[in-house]
A and B are shown apart, each in its own frame.
Chain A
Amino acid sequence: MLLALLVLALITAALAAPAIVRAVSRRTHALGAGRRRAHRPDAIAYDPGRERRAEQRARQLLRSCVNDEEWGMYRDLGFIRVDGRKRAGRRGGEPSEVAGQAAAGRPGSEAPPAPYAYLVYPHKPILAYVPGSGQLLSEYCVEFPDLTSGGSGRLPASDDVLAKWMALTSDESRVIGRANMHLVGRQLDPARVRRDLWRLSEWERRRGNRGSVEARRA
């Protein structure tokens, strides 16, 4: 009788052993992860309220830096157009060079004020295009990661737009040189970009800005 009970206990222990090992292992991993989280100073939980307040402040800062037209564009359309600063055909691979070729192929295209322009979206690549023809040139993938602060290191959306605007209007070559250039379509949907250009032309037409290239094309 005693022998039978002993055998039964051994069989039960052998059957339960894998489940016990798995439970102990899970518990050990959970404790380790908790300790790692506790010791990592940059582990800041996502707080939607804080992010919303940050975005509100960022919008105020953006509004105070750009002109009324650019602010209205961002508020109504969600992006800002920035005219290219460089003359066409200076350096290979840059929008000015491609736009120069495009302009040369168009009849009656004598030196428009801005041979190329950029659409600046928050947390998306900068898009270069030719305002006169609507030709999409390329997308420039660029980020402004803050590696010194905790959390994601990602600026609020309006700060990202302002950073791109400041970089493009002050030192276009430097920011374009640091960006990864791709054909349009890698991250931005060409159909959506064309729709945005149409929205921009309609927006400018409604504002009475008939002098702009987009409004004339509409």
Chain B
Amino acid sequence: MIQIKFLRMKPGHGEVLLAEGDPRVREEEERLVEEFRRQLDEGMWAAVPTENPGSGRREARMVRDYSDIPLQAERVIFFPRAAGG
């Protein structure tokens, strides 16, 4: 069973679990899509941590739409947009 977690960085909390579910189950996917849109509407960026199986190099992949989430992704991390400091 593939479970995906939506996490969000929050001041004073660390990460917060927003939603969790199996994208292959329709009701759960609808809930995930709704939460994804809500977070982007709130001004969050979404990224999926990935690992290159060949080199072992780790990096992140920014996702701007729910359909951009890789199938094998286990979590999506939402964090505030960058702004000039």
**Chain A 7-60 residues near chain B, CB threshold 8 A:** 44, 47, 50-51, 53-58, 60
B70 interface contact, C-beta 8 A? no
- Count of interface residues, chain A, beta-carbon cutoff 8 Å: 47
The size bracket of the interface on B is: 20 to 34
State which residues 46-85 of B face A: CB under 8 Å: 47, 49, 56-62, 77, 79-85
The one of B11, B80, B85 in contact with A156, judged by C-beta atoms closer than 8 angstroms, is B11
CA distance A20 to B58 in the complex (A): 68
With a 10 A CB-CB cut-off, give which of A64, A142, A152, A169 has the most chain B CB atoms. A169
Are A178 and B60 in touch, CB under 8 angstroms? Answer: no
Instruction: Please tell me if B30 contacts chain A, counting CB pairs below 8 Å.
Output: no
**With A54-B10, A67-B56, A159-B79 given, can you name 19 additional A-B contacts, CB distance below 8 Å?**
A44-B12, A54-B11, A58-B9, A61-B9, A64-B49, A66-B58, A143-B85, A146-B9, A146-B11, A149-B11, A152-B11, A155-B80, A156-B12, A166-B47, A166-B49, A170-B61, A174-B62, A174-B82, A179-B82
Q: Could you list 16 A-B pairs, sorted by A, with CB under 8 Å?
A: A54-B13, A58-B15, A143-B82, A144-B79, A144-B80, A145-B80, A146-B10, A149-B11, A154-B11, A155-B80, A163-B9, A163-B82, A166-B47, A178-B83, A179-B85, A180-B84
Residues on B facing A (Cβ under 8 Å): 7, 9-15, 42-43, 45, 47, 49, 56-62, 77, 79-85
